[in-house]
């Protein structure tokens, strides 16, 4: 302002605001608010230059101290406490400066309401328009706490309906303090909500007998998905090669693909070989991380027509590739960000030493996605050993693609009026990935990768499923606004990504089979970050109690002689 200048401070500065109000014969009462904050328990200091005569300095306690008696400046030191502290300066020009000192945590909980009212302390506040007396608002606060300290800063004294007043309105500082008591109980999401889960297989495309006459076909080398106008999600490639018995006996067991991206599952005559994550690099089944793949390919070939199928999934855009050339005057080849970033398969695909695949065909989406779009479930086959499964555990065979369909009711979830309780679909397992759809919408609400181990198969890089995200990678957030009023349906596509050396579930012990189970449940969202007792950052459930309040102005009388405000309660 023209009267006050902040020359120096060690604190962070949140904002500068002004509150004002017409107060009868006293005219307009105005106050400029400056909010300084820092870590709780820490100390700070500030110096204000004053361009008028100070007539009054007031503060609540000794957590704010003034140093010196200069008439042209006010130097203060302070401590950041769990409740906001205030220093009020008034000059003979009539200007008032309110300095609020608070913690970093509370600085993010300062809410400006209509009619020059500031509320500090609640996690979330939103004013509600209406004709009612006072300022009505909705609020949310951490469901884990039992008591919230609330500070109200206003030009006129106010009461907060539904809150207990613990410190009356101070006419000099404009501060009133309240507390709000909560149950301190987290809402619960029943773990058995998805216990009735229907399971379907979705991998007919890998069978040589599958009818692919409607698929897009092309000759020569496979075209990338980008060239085929497929830019997201899943896609199937199919190709053929005719072999004699003699050719199979002399065949070098090896499959090479120039470029592949992002995830590639390989099937030969319906038999699953492996899943790789080349991320734009080439595939060579003789590489160490493909160990066992070449032998599986050889065992799956037969005399006559052979069908090789590739299940692709695009996970993102912008891919690293290893150029086919090398550095100048060198055989060294360095990975680089591809200017094309093409997805799917492209370049030469060679079986053995020099055999090329032919009759390439491609189709976008899994059959389960197409059946949803067309409202036709005949494309899927119920898994005979499951049918209606009364458990949230499913087992995947090597390379198996399944759909889990489960429904839940809104009445089984925490009440939206009482709680803001974001929840997630939590999926746990190994050697798998998944895509989650809600209520037959064509776009997924999230995708899941089980672990980092299989991501390292097929690439020189060191990918991680937690890259660029602090949230739990096993959690897929459920968008509350997309929920139907009554019944909701989750459809989860799960794909096994086992390597070529992993045995079938039927070939392993029951304990190993249990380790490979995929667990599915609904749970509270644990995306809040908090500092644990050991000083480390931990995830905590995000749930808030919801409610409504009203800040109502009470009467103020001004003494005609002294011009002092007196509150009438």
> At 54, which CATH number?
2.102.20.10
Kindly state the average pLDDT of the residues 160-178: 90
- Length of the chain as a residue count: 569
Same domain, 433 and 504: yes
Confidence (pLDDT) at 376: 66
Same domain, 338 and 386: no
**Which of the residue ranges 94-98, 225-229, 449-453 would you say has the lowest mean pLDDT?**
94-98
**Which of the residue ranges 380-384, 490-494, 541-545 would you say has the lowest mean pLDDT?**
380-384
Between 327 and 542, name the one with better pLDDT.
542
Is there a contact between 88 and 172 (Cβ–Cβ < 8 Å)? yes
Work out how many domains the chain is built from and give that number.
4
Confidence (pLDDT) at 20: 58
Q: Which of 349, 364, 379 marks a domain boundary?
A: 364
- Within a domain: residue 191? no
Q: How far apart are CA 27 and CA 17, in angstroms?
A: 20
Tokens read off for 7:
């020359």
Those residues whose C-beta lies under 8 Å from the C-beta of residue 459, and which sit 6 or more positions away, are: 276, 277, 278, 279, 281
- Within a domain: residue 60? yes
- Confidence band, pLDDT 50/70/90 cuts, at residue 237: very high
- Confidence band, pLDDT 50/70/90 cuts, at residue 56: confident
Q: How far apart are CA 17 and CA 34, in angstroms?
A: 7
- Within a domain: residue 98? yes
Confidence check: pLDDT of 23 > 50:
no
- Within a domain: residue 426? yes
Same domain, 267 and 387: no
Between 318 and 215, name the one with better pLDDT.
215
**Which of the residue ranges 247-256, 295-304, 359-368, 419-428 would you say has the lowest mean pLDDT?**
419-428
Confidence check: pLDDT of 301 > 90:
yes
- Within a domain: residue 67? yes
Q: Is the pTM of this model over 0.95?
A: no
Give the number of other Cβ atoms within 10 Å of residue 42's Cβ.
Answer: 14
Those residues whose C-beta lies under 8 Å from the C-beta of residue 336, and which sit 6 or more positions away, are: 320, 321, 322, 323
Task: Give the position of tokens 């500065």.
Answer: 13
Q: How far apart are CA 129 and CA 137, in angstroms?
A: 8
Kindly state the average pLDDT of the residues 379-392: 57
- Within a domain: residue 133? yes
Same domain, 425 and 329: no
Q: How far apart are CA 561 and CA 260, in angstroms?
A: 87
> Torsions phi, psi of 289, nearest 5?
-75, 0
Residue 128 lies in domain: 117-186+545-569
Kindly state the average pLDDT of the residues 197-217: 94
Cα three-residue angle 28-29-33, rounded to 5 degrees: 135
Average pLDDT taken over every residue of the chain: 84
Kindly state the average pLDDT of the residues 167-195: 87
C-alpha distances in Å from residue 322, one per residue of 259, 290, 550 = 9, 18, 63
Confidence (pLDDT) at 450: 96
Same domain, 403 and 294: no
Q: Which of 332, 364, 396 marks a domain boundary?
A: 364
Same domain, 357 and 394: no
Confidence check: pLDDT of 325 > 60:
no
Same domain, 321 and 247: yes
Q: How far apart are CA 500 and CA 502, in angstroms?
A: 6
Same domain, 466 and 552: no
Same domain, 380 and 479: yes
Residue 503 DSSP symbol: P
Which of 69-73, 90-94, 546-550 shows the highest mean pLDDT?
546-550
Q: How far apart are CA 9 and CA 35, in angstroms?
A: 12
E strand or H helix at 77: strand 73-79
Same domain, 126 and 93: no
Q: Which of 364, 379, 411 marks a domain boundary?
A: 364
Task: Kindly report the CATH number assigned to the domain that includes residue 396.
Answer: 2.60.120
Same domain, 308 and 408: no
Q: How far apart are CA 400 and CA 98, in angstroms?
A: 66
Confidence check: pLDDT of 41 > 60:
yes
Question: What percentage of the chain carries pLDDT values higher than 70?
Answer: 82
Q: Tens digit of pLDDT for each residue in 476-516? A: 999 888 899 889 999 999 999 999 876 655 444 445 555 57
Reduced 3-state DSSP string for 523-548: EECCCEEEECCCCCEEEECCCEEEEE
Same domain, 357 and 443: no
């Amino acid at each position: 302002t023209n009267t006050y200048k902040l020359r120096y401070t060690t604190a962070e500065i949140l904002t500068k605001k002004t509150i004002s109000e017409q107060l009868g014969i006293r005219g307009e009462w105005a106050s400029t608010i400056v909010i300084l904050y820092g870590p709780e328990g820490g100390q700070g200091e500030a110096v204000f230059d004053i361009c008028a005569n100070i007539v009054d300095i007031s503060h609540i306690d000794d957590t704010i101290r003034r140093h010196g008696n200069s008439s042209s400046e006010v130097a203060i030191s302070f401590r950041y406490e769990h409740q906001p502290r205030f220093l009020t300066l008034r000059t003979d020009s009539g200007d008032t400066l309110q300095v609020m000192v608070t913690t970093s945590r509370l600085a993010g909980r300062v809410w400006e309401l209509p009619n020059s009212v500031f509320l500090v302390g609640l996690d979330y506040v939103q004013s509600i328009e209406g004709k009612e007396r006072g300022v009505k608002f909705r609020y949310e606060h951490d469901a884990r706490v039992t008591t919230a300290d609330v500070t109200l800063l206003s030009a006129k004294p106010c009461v907060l309906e539904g809150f207990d007043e613990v410190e009356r309105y101070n006419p000099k500082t404009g501060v009133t303090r309240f507390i709000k008591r909560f149950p301190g109980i987290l809402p619960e999401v029943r773990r058995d909500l998805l216990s009735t889960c229907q399971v379907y297989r979705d991998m007919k495309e890998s069978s040589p007998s599958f009818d692919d006459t409607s698929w897009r076909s092309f000759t020569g080398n496979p075209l990338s998905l980008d060239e085929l106008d497929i830019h997201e999600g899943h896609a199937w490639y199919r190709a053929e090669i005719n072999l004699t018995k003699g050719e199979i006996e002399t065949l070098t067991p090896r499959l090479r693909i120039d470029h592949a991206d992002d995830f590639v599952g390989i099937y030969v005559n319906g038999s699953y070989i492996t899943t790789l994550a080349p991320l734009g690099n080439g595939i060579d089944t003789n590489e160490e991380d493909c160990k066992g793949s070449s032998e599986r390919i050889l065992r799956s070939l037969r005399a006559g027509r052979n069908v090789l199928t590739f299940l692709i999934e695009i996970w993102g855009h912008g891919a690293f590739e290893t150029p086919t050339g090398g550095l100048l005057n060198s055989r060294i080849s360095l990975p680089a960000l591809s200017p094309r970033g093409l997805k799917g398969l492209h370049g030469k695909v060679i079986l053995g030493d020099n055999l090329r695949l032919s009759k390439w065909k491609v189709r976008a989406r899994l059959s389960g996605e197409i059946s949803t779009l067309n409202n036709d479930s005949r494309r899927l086959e119920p898994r005979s050993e499951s049918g209606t499964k009364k458990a949230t555990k499913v087992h995947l065979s090597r390379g198996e693609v399944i759909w889990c369909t489960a429904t839940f009711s809104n009445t089984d979830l925490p009440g939206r009026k009482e709680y803001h309780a974001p929840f997630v679909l939590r999926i746990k397992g190994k050697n798998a990935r998944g895509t989650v759809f809600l209520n037959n919408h064509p776009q997924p609400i999230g995708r899941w990768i089980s672990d980092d181990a299989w991501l390292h198969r097929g690439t020189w890089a060191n990918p991680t499923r937690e890259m660029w995200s602090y949230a739990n990678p096993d959690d897929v957030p459920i968008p509350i606004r997309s929920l139907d009023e009554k019944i909701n349906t989750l459809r989860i596509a799960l794909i096994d990504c086992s390597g070529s050396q992993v045995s079938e579930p039927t070939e392993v012990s029951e304990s190993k089979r249990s380790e490979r189970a995929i667990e599915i449940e609904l749970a509270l969202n644990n995306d809040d970050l908090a500092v644990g007792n050991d000083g480390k950052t931990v995830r905590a459930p995000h749930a808030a109690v919801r409610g409504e309040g009203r800040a109502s102005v009470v009467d103020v009388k001004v003494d005609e002689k002294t011009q002092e405000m007196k509150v009438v309660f």
